[in-house]
Protein backbone atom coordinates (compact mmCIF):
# COMPACT_ATOMS: atom_id res chain seq x y z
CA UNK A 1 0.00 0.00 0.00
CA UNK A 2 1.20 3.53 -0.76
CA UNK A 3 2.47 5.37 2.32
CA UNK A 4 0.36 8.35 3.39
CA UNK A 5 2.61 11.34 3.78
CA UNK A 6 1.52 14.71 5.12
CA UNK A 7 3.17 17.91 3.98
CA UNK A 8 2.78 20.81 6.35
CA UNK A 9 1.10 23.36 4.11
CA UNK A 10 1.00 26.50 6.24
CA UNK A 11 3.60 28.32 4.19
CA UNK A 12 6.68 27.74 2.06
CA UNK A 13 7.75 25.03 -0.37
CA UNK A 14 5.09 22.44 0.29
CA UNK A 15 3.92 22.01 -3.32
CA UNK A 16 7.36 20.93 -4.53
CA UNK A 17 7.63 18.33 -1.75
CA UNK A 18 4.13 17.07 -2.52
CA UNK A 19 4.96 16.71 -6.23
CA UNK A 20 8.15 14.80 -5.53
CA UNK A 21 6.50 12.45 -3.05
CA UNK A 22 3.66 11.74 -5.49
CA UNK A 23 6.22 10.98 -8.15
CA UNK A 24 7.67 8.38 -5.80
CA UNK A 25 4.26 6.76 -5.33
CA UNK A 26 3.17 8.24 -1.98
CA UNK A 27 -0.31 9.43 -1.22
CA UNK A 28 0.09 13.06 -0.15
CA UNK A 29 -2.06 15.01 2.28
CA UNK A 30 -1.66 18.77 2.76
CA UNK A 31 -1.72 19.38 6.51
CA UNK A 32 -3.11 22.60 7.94
CA UNK A 33 -4.90 21.31 11.05
CA UNK A 34 -3.81 18.99 13.88
CA UNK A 35 -6.43 16.32 13.16
CA UNK A 36 -5.01 15.94 9.65
CA UNK A 37 -2.01 14.19 11.20
CA UNK A 38 -4.19 11.22 12.16
CA UNK A 39 -3.39 8.14 10.15
CA UNK A 40 -0.32 9.59 8.44
CA UNK A 41 2.81 7.47 8.08
CA UNK A 42 5.12 10.43 7.70
CA UNK A 43 5.24 14.21 7.67
CA UNK A 44 7.34 16.78 5.82
CA UNK A 45 8.05 20.17 7.40
CA UNK A 46 9.17 22.19 4.37
CA UNK A 47 11.35 25.25 3.90
CA UNK A 48 9.93 28.71 4.21
CA UNK A 49 10.28 31.10 7.08
CA UNK A 50 10.79 29.41 10.43
CA UNK A 51 9.46 32.33 12.49
CA UNK A 52 6.22 32.27 10.49
CA UNK A 53 5.99 28.48 10.77
CA UNK A 54 6.40 28.57 14.50
CA UNK A 55 3.83 31.31 14.91
CA UNK A 56 1.25 29.55 12.72
CA UNK A 57 1.93 26.14 14.23
CA UNK A 58 1.24 27.53 17.71
CA UNK A 59 -1.86 29.29 16.53
CA UNK A 60 -3.35 26.09 15.10
CA UNK A 61 -2.08 23.74 17.81
CA UNK A 62 0.18 22.01 15.32
CA UNK A 63 3.20 22.34 17.61
CA UNK A 64 1.65 20.03 20.21
CA UNK A 65 0.22 17.77 17.50
CA UNK A 66 3.66 17.37 15.97
CA UNK A 67 5.13 16.57 19.40
CA UNK A 68 2.72 13.67 19.77
CA UNK A 69 2.99 12.51 16.15
CA UNK A 70 4.64 9.07 16.08
CA UNK A 71 5.55 8.70 12.40
CA UNK A 72 8.67 9.65 10.49
CA UNK A 73 9.35 13.36 10.03
CA UNK A 74 11.44 15.12 7.38
CA UNK A 75 12.39 18.77 7.97
CA UNK A 76 14.07 20.82 5.25
CA UNK A 77 15.69 24.21 5.77
CA UNK A 78 13.21 26.21 7.91
CA UNK A 79 11.70 22.79 8.73
CA UNK A 80 15.02 21.76 10.25
CA UNK A 81 15.05 24.89 12.43
CA UNK A 82 11.51 24.14 13.64
CA UNK A 83 12.59 20.68 14.86
CA UNK A 84 15.82 21.74 16.60
CA UNK A 85 16.65 22.06 20.32
CA UNK A 86 15.57 25.67 20.53
CA UNK A 87 12.16 25.16 18.95
CA UNK A 88 10.15 21.92 19.08
CA UNK A 89 13.19 20.12 20.51
CA UNK A 90 12.54 16.92 18.59
CA UNK A 91 16.02 16.67 17.06
CA UNK A 92 19.19 17.17 19.10
CA UNK A 93 20.63 19.91 16.92
CA UNK A 94 21.49 23.50 17.45
CA UNK A 95 20.97 25.54 14.30
CA UNK A 96 21.67 29.16 13.44
CA UNK A 97 19.32 30.85 10.99
CA UNK A 98 20.70 32.51 7.88
CA UNK A 99 24.19 31.77 9.07
CA UNK A 100 26.02 31.44 5.78
CA UNK A 101 26.67 35.17 5.55
CA UNK A 102 25.31 37.61 3.04
CA UNK A 103 27.46 36.92 0.02
CA UNK A 104 26.84 33.20 0.07
CA UNK A 105 23.35 33.43 1.51
CA UNK A 106 22.11 31.26 -1.34
CA UNK A 107 24.32 28.84 -3.23
CA UNK A 108 24.52 25.39 -4.76
CA UNK A 109 27.08 22.75 -3.92
CA UNK A 110 27.78 19.12 -4.79
CA UNK A 111 27.36 17.00 -1.71
CA UNK A 112 28.77 13.61 -1.00
CA UNK A 113 26.02 11.38 0.26
CA UNK A 114 26.94 8.59 2.66
CA UNK A 115 26.71 5.28 0.82
CA UNK A 116 26.43 6.79 -2.70
CA UNK A 117 28.96 7.31 -5.50
CA UNK A 118 27.10 10.03 -7.35
CA UNK A 119 27.16 13.53 -5.83
CA UNK A 120 23.95 15.20 -4.79
CA UNK A 121 23.31 18.79 -5.86
CA UNK A 122 22.41 20.79 -2.77
CA UNK A 123 20.40 23.98 -3.22
CA UNK A 124 20.89 26.23 -0.19
CA UNK A 125 18.59 29.21 0.23
CA UNK A 126 19.31 31.40 3.24
CA UNK A 127 20.04 28.11 4.88
CA UNK A 128 20.49 27.37 8.56
CA UNK A 129 23.90 26.18 9.72
CA UNK A 130 24.25 23.33 12.19
CA UNK A 131 26.31 24.59 15.15
CA UNK A 132 26.10 21.46 17.24
CA UNK A 133 24.78 17.93 16.85
CA UNK A 134 24.08 15.58 19.76
CA UNK A 135 25.48 12.03 19.97
CA UNK A 136 22.35 10.43 18.54
CA UNK A 137 22.50 12.44 15.35
CA UNK A 138 23.93 10.57 12.38
CA UNK A 139 25.42 12.93 9.78
CA UNK A 140 24.63 11.75 6.22
CA UNK A 141 26.18 14.64 4.28
CA UNK A 142 28.39 17.62 5.04
CA UNK A 143 29.34 20.84 3.33
CA UNK A 144 32.65 22.43 4.34
CA UNK A 145 32.62 20.40 7.51
CA UNK A 146 29.08 21.35 8.54
CA UNK A 147 26.37 18.70 8.67
CA UNK A 148 23.73 19.43 6.00
CA UNK A 149 21.79 16.16 6.00
CA UNK A 150 21.29 14.18 9.17
CA UNK A 151 19.15 11.56 10.79
CA UNK A 152 18.12 10.95 14.36
CA UNK A 153 15.89 7.92 14.70
CA UNK A 154 12.69 8.63 12.78
CA UNK A 155 13.73 12.22 12.00
CA UNK A 156 15.53 13.27 8.83
CA UNK A 157 16.70 16.88 8.42
CA UNK A 158 18.32 18.79 5.57
CA UNK A 159 19.53 22.38 5.58
CA UNK A 160 19.16 22.48 1.78
CA UNK A 161 16.20 21.95 -0.56
CA UNK A 162 16.10 18.45 -2.06
CA UNK A 163 12.60 19.19 -3.40
CA UNK A 164 14.01 21.79 -5.81
CA UNK A 165 16.07 19.46 -8.01
CA UNK A 166 15.09 16.42 -10.07
CA UNK A 167 17.15 14.16 -7.86
CA UNK A 168 14.73 12.12 -5.77
CA UNK A 169 17.30 10.31 -3.61
CA UNK A 170 16.75 12.21 -0.38
CA UNK A 171 12.99 11.78 -0.57
CA UNK A 172 13.54 8.09 -1.35
CA UNK A 173 15.58 7.84 1.85
CA UNK A 174 12.79 9.50 3.73
CA UNK A 175 10.27 6.98 2.36
CA UNK A 176 12.62 4.17 3.46
CA UNK A 177 12.62 5.69 6.94
CA UNK A 178 8.81 5.81 6.85
CA UNK A 179 8.76 2.08 6.01
CA UNK A 180 11.25 1.24 8.75
CA UNK A 181 9.16 3.16 11.24
CA UNK A 182 5.99 1.37 10.16
CA UNK A 183 7.74 -1.94 10.78
CA UNK A 184 8.90 -0.80 14.21
CA UNK A 185 5.39 0.25 15.18
CA UNK A 186 3.65 -2.84 13.74
163: annotated active-site residue: yes
49: annotated active-site residue: no
94: annotated active-site residue: no
User: Does residue 98 bind ligand GLN (CB under 6 A)?
Assistant: yes
Beta bridge partners of 174: none
Q: Let me know: does 16 contact 163? Beta carbons within 8 Å.
A: yes
Nearer to ligand GLN, 62 or 81 (CB): 81
The CA distance from 94 to 26, in Å, is: 31
Nearer to ligand GLN, 48 or 147 (CB): 48
Nearer to ligand GLN, 2 or 59 (CB): 59
Which one is catalytic: 77, 143, 171, 181?
77
Contacts (Cβ under 8 Å, ≥6 apart) of 44: 5, 6, 7, 8, 14, 17, 21, 73, 74, 75, 76, 79, 174
Min separation Cβ 50 and ligand GLN, Å = 3
Q: Let me know: does 42 contact 71? Beta carbons within 8 Å.
A: yes
Nearer to ligand GLN, 52 or 114 (CB): 52
The CA distance from 116 to 165, in Å, is: 17
Per-state percent for the chain, helix, strand, coil, to nearest 5: 30, 30, 40
Say if strands 129-133 and 120-125 run parallel, antiparallel, or are unpaired. unpaired
Min separation Cβ 106 and ligand GLN, Å = 8
Q: Find the binder of ligand GLN among 87, 97, 121, 179 (CB under 6 A).
A: 97
Q: Find the binder of ligand GLN among 32, 85, 126, 179 (CB under 6 A).
A: 126
Min separation Cβ 98 and ligand GLN, Å = 5
List binders of ligand GLN among 21-60 (CB under 6 A).
47-50
Say if strands 146-152 and 155-158 run parallel, antiparallel, or are unpaired. antiparallel
The residues annotated with a catalytic role in the active site are 77, 161, 163
- Contacts with ligand GLN by CB under 6 A lie at 47-50, 77-78, 81, 97-98, 125-126
Amino acid sequence: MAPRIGVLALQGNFREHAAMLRRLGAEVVEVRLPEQLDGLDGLVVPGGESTTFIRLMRLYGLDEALRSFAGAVFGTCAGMIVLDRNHLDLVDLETARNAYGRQVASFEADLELAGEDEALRGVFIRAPRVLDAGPEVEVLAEHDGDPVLARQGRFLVASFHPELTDDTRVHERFLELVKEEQRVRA
